Amino acid sequence: MMNGRVRIVEIQAKSILNRAPEGMGFRWTLNPYRGCQHGCVYCYARYTHTFLNLDPDKDFSQTVFVKTNAVTLLRRELRRPRWRHERVSVGTATDPYQPIEGRYRLMPGLIQAFGDFYTPFSIVTKNTMVLRDMALLRQVAQRVSVAVLFSITTVDEALARELEPDTPSPWQRLRVAQRLAQAGIPAAIALAPILPGVTDKPEQLRAVVAAVRDHGLSIAFYQPLRLYDDTRPTLFSYLARRHPQLVAAYQRGYTRKDPPAAYRESLRERVEAAMREEGGRWFRPPSVQPLQDRLNIEE
CATH number for the domain spanning 55: value is 3.20.20.70
CA of 142: how far to CAs of 51, 71, 297, in Å?
39, 21, 17
CA distance linking residue 18 with residue 21, whole number of Å: 10
Rounded Cα distance between 183 and 64, Å, is 32
pLDDT confidence of residue 299: 40
CB 146 within 8 A of CB 185: yes
Number of domains in the chain: 1
Question: What pLDDT score does 169 carry?
Answer: 97
**299 inside domain:** no
Please report, for residues 88, 205, 249, the alpha-carbon distance to residue 261 in angstroms, rounded to integers and kept in the order given: 29, 19, 15
Summarize pLDDT for 144-182 with one digit per residue, the tens: 999 999 999 999 999 999 999 999 999 999 999 999 999
Cβ atoms of 150 and 177 within 8 Å: the answer is yes
In-domain check, residue 82: yes
Nearest to 120 by CA among 289, 299, 3: 289
Q: Assess whether pLDDT exceeds 60 at residue 38.
A: yes
Answer whether residue 290 is part of any domain: no
Is 295 contained in some domain?
Answer: no
Mean pLDDT across the chain: 92
| DSSP class of 236 | H
- Residue 27 banded pLDDT, cuts 50, 70, 90: confident
Identify whether 289 is part of a domain: no
pLDDT in tens, 102-150: 999 999 999 999 999 999 999 999 999 999 999 999 999 999 999 999 9
- In a domain, residue 19? The reply is yes
Angle between helices 261-278 and 202-214 (to 10 degrees): 40
Contact predicate 125/176, CB 8 Å:
no
How sure is the predictor about 65, in pLDDT bands with cuts at 50, 70 and 90?
very high
| 287 is a domain residue | no
More confident residue, 139 or 284: 139
- Whether 292 is in a domain gets the answer no
The residue segments making up the domain with residue 240 are 2-280
Cα(224)–Cα(253) distance, rounded to whole angstroms? Answer: 12
Output the pLDDT for position 123. 97
